[in-house]
Structure 1
Amino acid sequence: MKPAEELRLRYARGERDFQQLELLKPDIGGGKLEYANLTGADLSGANLRKGFLRGIRLEGANLSQTNLEMANLEMATLVDANLTGANLRNARLSPVESELRANLKGADLSNAILSSACLYDANLANTILVGTDLSQTDAQKADFSSCVITQANFNIADLREADFSNCQITDTNFSGADLREANFTNTILERVNFNGANLKEATMYYSRLTDVTLVDADFSDVDLEYTELEGVNLTDANLNSEIVYNADPKIPIDAGELLTRYAKGERNFVRIRFTGQSLFEADLSEINLFEADLGAVDFRGANLSYANLKGVKMVMSNFSCADLSYANLRGAKLLGSDLSYADLSYASLTGADLTGADLTRADLIYADATEAVLSGAKFEGAECRGFATENAILVVSNFKGAKNWHCGIGAFFLNTILEDGYVVCGPDWSE
């Protein structure tokens, strides 16, 4: 009996647990495996076309090159599944106005075909979308947060209210897509095509757009607060409506007032909005700037040891030669900041975003960057003894010449330069 036939028979007899099952290119086209547990199974190259797979568990399964065209995957769990090269054209993953949501969190969808698939409100957070075809998909309200998106195709996709926050998006096509009220907060967009797209009332707070084209796009009422635009083509784009800058309820404080109050013994400056520019060589050790909005500040040579900078928002700030030892930078936004020669020993950078940051020759001894975004960051010549990078995002990161660095488990590589100059093209994860 062929393995596929045996699987069908066991399922028909009531068996549902098929964990770690290995089948060589099984043909189960049109078959029913509703609520089956295939966690960790190897179904690479399988034919599951038009399969009724509602509620199926495929966590960590190998579905590379699998044919899932027109399959019913409502409520399916595909967390950390390998779907590279899979065909999900017209697959039903998350039907509109239903609770039957598919969970693809952390899945690898490199070169997968999802054109015309239904992904309404689906969870695709932390997925790998390299060369993925999502054209004409219905992905309203879908969660694409913290994804690595390169050379993907979202042409004419319905992405209303979709979440693309904390993503790195390069060489990707959104032409003709409906992105009304989509969220691109804290996202890096390079060489992205939005020609003819509708981005009305989208949010691009704290994002960076480089060489992006918006020809004939509707770019009205877009929130561009603290957004960097370089080489953006807005030919014939609709900018008739006033660009929205959200009101900022935080208390404004300039450099003089902050230093004066600090000198008098005050340390608590929670959620302030800093309106100054330079705190050059300032002594601010143990200051509490929790969730402060600091913009772009000159902290060169400043003493911020033991400071609480958790959740602060900064763009293109200069911390060169600053003392940040033992500082709490958990969840901080440090996009494009200069941390060269800075002392970050024993600092907590868990979940921080250091996209594009310069950490050349920084002291990172026993600093913790677990789950941090380090995409495009430079670590050349940095001292990395005990530097924790478990589950960190290392897309286009440069560790050439870094000293004593050992990559943490679960870190994601894509065109990452290691300390010896070797390039990990990826996508890949450290083990």
Structure 2
Amino acid sequence: MDIEELLWRYQKGERQFPDSKFSACYLGAIDLVEANFDRSSMCKINLTFAYLNRTSIRNAQLDYSILAGVTLTHANLERSSLKNVDLQGADLQHCTLQFTNLSWVNAMDANFSRADLRGTKLISANLNGACFYGANFRQEGRHEAADLRSVSALKTDFRNCNLSGANFTGANLTGANLSGANLKGANLSRTNLTGSNLSKTNLSDAQFGETILHGTDLSYAKLERAIMISCDATGAKFMSASLNDANLSKSNFLDADLSNGNFVRANFTQAILTRAKFVKADLVRAIFTRASAEDIDFTGANLSEADIGSANTLGATFTGAKLPNGQIFISV
């Protein structure tokens, strides 16, 4: 079937075109709403600004195609391959992309709001400026989690997304907004989160090895049992965050604000805590073995049974703090 026949049949009211084959053809600005192209081969086609609302393109091949500005709202592309596709500015709101391969796509400024992205591969994709508000990346049972390794997601909107179990290893999320997102068990190792907003996120059991968190906002975030080893959280904000049982060893919290946070049994072994603020923080049984804590502020903090004996606390402020021995420190 050639393009002319496709258009003629569509105009006559036909919508079923499964197992079709198109290659290196131009279908820009075309209207194919509600058409069925399941299992079709459509590599290297140009669908710029096409209208593909509510189409079914499952188990199809669209690698190296141009879909810039295309409208795919409520479309179903489950288990299709869209590697190296140009999706710049595309509208994929409420689109089903479960187990779809979107690796190396250009999705700059695309809209994936409330899309189903469970098990999707987005390896090395360009997601700069894209919107994923409310999208679902949730890990499904024994299936692999969403794979976002090495993505570029500068100033990308991930607010209120379900990203539980997602793999962001090596990604650049500078300036991204992930507030309210569920990142439970996510892998953020070697990720750049400079200036990102992770306030009110669920990051319980997440991994942050060698992650950059310069100026990152993690206020009111849940990070229970998180592994944050050798991270750089210079100037980060952890106000009212919960990091009970978290491993924060060898990380840099220079000038960070951790006031009013919960750090029960948290491990700060060999961490850099110079000028960090723990005002009114709960640090019961926290471990500060060989930590560098010069000029740290423990005003009003609860340090009951905490291990601070080997930490360097030169110039530290303990005014009103409850010390490891249970006594309240009163400044002279």
The answer to whether TM tops 0.5 is yes
Q: Is the Cα–Cα contact under 8 Å of residues 192 and 212 in structure 2 kept in the other structure?
A: yes
Counterpart residue number, 1:38: 82
**Cα offset for 1:98?**
5.5
Which residue of structure 1 lines up, in the alignment, with residue 37 of structure 2? 11
Q: AA paired with 1:34? A: E
Deviations 1:224-245 (A, max 9, x none): 1111111101100001224275
Q: What is the deviation of 1:223? A: 1.0
Q: Return the TM-score normalized by structure 2.
A: 0.70
The answer to whether the 8 A contact 1:3-1:23 is kept is: no
Q: Could you report, residue by residue, the CA deviation over 1:16-68 in whole angstroms, capped at 9, with x for unpaired residues?
A: 11111112300111111111111001000000000011111111100010100
1:241 aligns with 2:285: yes
Q: Select which of 66, 69, 72 maps to 2:116.
A: 72
Check conservation: 2:73, 2:93, Cα contact below 8 A.
Answer: yes
Bigger relative contact order, structure 1 or 2 (CA pairs below 8 A, ≥6 apart): 2
- Alignment counterpart, residue 261 of structure 2, candidates 190, 213, 217: 217
Letter in structure 2 aligned against 1:132: A
TM-superposed CA distance for 1:149, in Å, is 1.1
What CA distance in whole angstroms lies between the structure 2 residues aligned with 1:67 and 1:195? 31
**1:392-429 CA deviation, whole Å, 9 max, x = no partner?**
xxxxxxxxxxxxxxxxxxxxxxxxxxxxxxxxxxxxxx
Aligned mates of 1:231, 1:242 — CA distance in 2:
18
CA displacement, residues 139-174 of structure 1 (integer Å, 9 cap, x when unaligned): 101000001111101111000010111111111100
Partner AA of 1:156 in structure 2 = K
| CA drift at 1:207 | 1.3
CA contact (8 A) 2:270 2:289 kept: no
CA spacing shift, 1:2–1:58, aligned 2, 3 Å: same
Shift of 1:10: 6.9
Distance 2:121 2:222 in 1: 27
The residue correspondences of 1:40-189 to structure 2 (distance < 5 A) are 40-95=84-139, 99-189=143-233
Could you list the runs of 4 or more consecutive aligned residues of structure 1 that deviate by over 2 angstroms after TM superposition?
1-15, 95-100, 240-246
Once superposed, what is the RMSD of the aligned Cα atoms?
Answer: 2.0
Q: Distance in 1 between matches of 2:232 and 2:84?
A: 33
Tell me if structure 2 keeps the 8 A contact 1:4–1:27. no
Identity of aligned residues (%): 23
Give unpaired runs (5+ residues) of structure 2.
1-26, 42-59, 291-332
Q: Are the structure 2 counterparts of residues 13 and 142 from structure 1 closer, same or farther at C-alpha, using a change threshold of 3 Å?
A: closer
Cα distance in 1 for partners of 2:152, 2:34 equals 27
The structure-2 alpha-carbon separation of the partners of 1:63 and 1:133, relative to structure 1 and needing over 3 Å to count, comes to same
Instruction: Report how many residues are paired.
Output: 246
Cα deviation 1:111-152 (Å, max 9, x = unaligned): 111111111111110010111011111110100000111110
**Secondary structure class of the residue paired with 1:88:** coil
- Give yes or no for contact 1:96–1:120 (8 Å, CA) kept in 2: no
Asked if 1 retains the 8 angstrom alpha-carbon contact of 2:209 and 2:229, the reply is yes
Post-superposition offset of 1:7 = 9.6
Quick one: distance in 1 between partners of 2:68 and 2:220?
40
Distance 2:181 2:207 in 1: 15
AA aligned opposite 2:166: A
Q: Retained in 1: the 8 A contact 2:263–2:286?
A: no
Provide closer, same or farther for how the CA distance between residues 221 and 4 of structure 1 changes in structure 2, counting only shifts above 3 A.
farther
- TM-score w.r.t. the length of structure 1 is 0.55
Which deviations, in whole Å up to 9, do the C-alpha atoms of 1:345-404 show, x marking residues without a partner?
Answer: xxxxxxxxxxxxxxxxxxxxxxxxxxxxxxxxxxxxxxxxxxxxxxxxxxxxxxxxxxxx
Structure that is richer in strand per residue:
1
Q: How far apart are the structure 1 equivalents of 2:146 and 2:77?
A: 16
